[in-house]
Amino acid sequence: MLTKLKQIISSPIWLRAGGYIGRLISFLLFSTMLLVVTFLVSFNILLPGTFFKLPVLLGLILLPFAVSYILVSMPSRKKPEKSIKHEKLSKKSRNALIAMMVVFILAMSGIYLYQKADENKHLTNAQQEFSLTLVDGVSQNRVDSTLIELDAQLARLKKLYGPLVGEQKIGVVLYPDINSLQIHNDVAKWADAYISYSSGKPVIYLPAEQPPSDSSRKANAMASPMPGHELTHYVIREILGENNKGNIPLWFNEGVAQYESFKGFNRMFDRIGCKIGLWLINLVNPKILADGELVLTSSNYPNEHIDEFYIASLEFTDFIASNYGGIKNILYDVSNGMQFSIAFEKETGKTVKDVYLEWYAAFF
């Protein structure tokens, strides 16, 4: 029985089948690993510097073709009379692979050049929009990446909310990390960045590096992109004006800032994390969010429930924007002297509490 089994396994048909299956499994495993690494590089998790990103991505793109080339070029186990046909097929496959490699190289080079041109444009514009101050030494790469993000976010917000009346140059104080920012400023332990008007002008205080998530710093695991968040606060303040800056509730101010800064495909997984985190929070203690008191009535930041407040404000604002719209109109109505509750009901047709309960029922 054992001898018969060995004969079957060693037959040409089984050898060919085993070879093809082995190649397929190896290629699938290799491609999966390649996709993971490509994803990490594309989203700046690995090698965030643009200079290194291009050759790495090009290398990752070329690797599967190289593997395919090797697989196609492997000696055939077929009978001699079929080897000539196999060689012709291999030659055509190699030519096709070379052509595809050239096309991908040209495409990636074009994408890279476009990205560099766009970055240079934002760096030039940022010099006109922002006044930069560096504290404790920040690498030039971090300075450039922060300015590029700031200018890109500001341009997007202006397009969404319209030109800002009385717009002025925005001060930016950049620290190497969150610890440096905390040492130099009297802010809450959970605050990773903030905007201040104490000097009479808008000044955004930012760390050059996003802080890691850990149990000692609340809200980090689900923190929004800081430049976009603080710039949204600036836009809201400019729309409302000096006389109406305090006439919107805290949840709406933070919710809109969170909502705008979380936009984009590259924030998709962060949004998923927010939703899962909020669902788990409510599962453990549903009383925190069920009646809306924590979110809707907080005039000061609830330090003991800061995660719940920020994430619920984000998701509630997202619900309003998706189902009713009118975020921009609410801000401009308040800027013209209308009470927030009236402006909200004008846009949604419902009270804030009714919409909140509707969101809570839909979310949980």
- Mean pLDDT on 146-154: 91
The span from the CA of 341 to the CA of 350, in Å, is 10
Provide the domain count of the chain.
2
- Mean pLDDT on 1-18: 53
Question: Looking at residue 289, what is its pLDDT?
Answer: 92
Burial 336-360 (b: 16+ CB within 10 A, else e): eebebeebbbebbeeebeebbebbb
Which residues, other chains included, contact 24 with Cβ-Cβ below 8 Å and sequence gap of 6+? none
The span from the CA of 339 to the CA of 332, in Å, is 11
Greater model confidence, 219 or 319: 319
pLDDT-above-90 percentage for the chain: 39
Identify whether residues 104 and 147 lie together within a single domain.
Answer: no
Say yes or no to pLDDT of 335 above 90: yes
| Distance set, CA 166 to CA 130, 131, 288, 331 (Å) | 15, 17, 40, 16
Identify whether residues 216 and 249 lie together within a single domain.
Answer: yes
Question: Looking at residue 278, what is its pLDDT?
Answer: 87
Question: Looking at residue 56, what is its pLDDT?
Answer: 57
Question: Looking at residue 4, what is its pLDDT?
Answer: 57
Identify whether residues 65 and 201 lie together within a single domain.
Answer: no
Identify whether residues 140 and 10 lie together within a single domain.
Answer: no
The span from the CA of 43 to the CA of 59, in Å, is 17
Identify whether residues 151 and 249 lie together within a single domain.
Answer: yes
Identify whether residues 248 and 181 lie together within a single domain.
Answer: yes
Identify whether residues 151 and 268 lie together within a single domain.
Answer: yes
- Residue 128 resides in a domain: no
- Residue 142 resides in a domain: yes
| Distance set, CA 116 to CA 38, 112, 120 (Å) | 19, 6, 6
Say yes or no to pLDDT of 214 above 50: no
Tokens of 238: 């400019």
- Mean pLDDT on 118-127: 89
- Residue 256 resides in a domain: yes
Question: Looking at residue 270, what is its pLDDT?
Answer: 73
- Mean pLDDT on 69-95: 55
State which residues form the domain around 58.
2-120
Q: Report the first-to-last Cα separation within the chain, whole angstroms.
A: 61
Question: Looking at residue 200, what is its pLDDT?
Answer: 87
Question: Looking at residue 119, what is its pLDDT?
Answer: 86
- 8 Å CB contact between 77 and 65: no
- Mean pLDDT on 134-160: 90
Rg from Cα positions in the chain: 28
Say yes or no to pLDDT of 221 above 60: no
Question: Looking at residue 339, what is its pLDDT?
Answer: 97
Give the number of other CB atoms < 10 A from CB of residue 239: 19
Model confidence at 281, in pLDDT bands (50, 70, 90)?
confident
Using alpha carbons only, give the angle 291, 313, 244 rounded to the nearest 5 degrees. 105
Question: Looking at residue 73, what is its pLDDT?
Answer: 53
Among 33-42, 125-134, 162-171, the range of highest mean pLDDT: 125-134
- 8 Å CB contact between 97 and 73: no
Say yes or no to pLDDT of 348 above 60: yes
CA 145 to chain CA centroid, nearest Å: 15
- Residue 262 resides in a domain: yes
Nearest to 314 by CA among 273, 266, 283: 273
H/E element, 25: helix 12-42
Say yes or no to pLDDT of 343 above 70: yes
Identify whether residues 153 and 220 lie together within a single domain.
Answer: yes
The span from the CA of 204 to the CA of 168, in Å, is 13
Mean pLDDT over all residues of the chain? 79
Identify whether residues 284 and 347 lie together within a single domain.
Answer: yes
Tokens of 162: 């319209």
Nearest to 38 by CA among 18, 59, 23, 57: 57
- Mean pLDDT on 32-55: 56
- pLDDT tens digits, one per residue of 286-303: 888 999 999 999 999 998
- Residue 126 resides in a domain: no
Q: Which of 85, 120, 155 is the last residue of a domain?
A: 120
Tokens of 352: 């804030």
State the burial class of residue 140 (Cβ atoms within 10 Å of its Cβ: 0-12, 13-18, 19+).
exposed
Longest alpha-carbon distance in the chain: 93
Question: Looking at residue 131, what is its pLDDT?
Answer: 94
Greater model confidence, 319 or 101: 319
Q: Which of 88, 120, 152 is the last residue of a domain?
A: 120
- Residue 225 resides in a domain: yes
Tokens 């917000």 — which residue?
A: 157
- Mean pLDDT on 234-260: 94
pLDDT-above-70 percentage for the chain: 67
- Residue 125 resides in a domain: no
Say yes or no to pLDDT of 151 above 80: yes
Identify whether residues 192 and 79 lie together within a single domain.
Answer: no
- Mean pLDDT on 236-246: 91
Got the DSSP string for 263-331?
-SGGGHHHHHHHHHHHHHHHHH-THHHHTSHHHHS-SS--GGGHHHHHHHHHHHHHHHHHHT--HHHHH
Identify whether residues 189 and 321 lie together within a single domain.
Answer: yes
Q: Is 262 left (phi over 0), alpha (psi -120 to 50) or beta?
A: alpha
Question: Looking at residue 159, what is its pLDDT?
Answer: 92
Say yes or no to pLDDT of 223 above 50: no
* The model's pTM: 0.72
Question: Looking at residue 157, what is its pLDDT?
Answer: 94
Say yes or no to pLDDT of 39 above 70: no
Say yes or no to pLDDT of 255 above 50: yes
Q: Which of 120, 151, 167 is the last residue of a domain?
A: 120
Identify whether residues 201 and 70 lie together within a single domain.
Answer: no
- Residue 56 resides in a domain: yes
Say yes or no to pLDDT of 123 above 50: yes
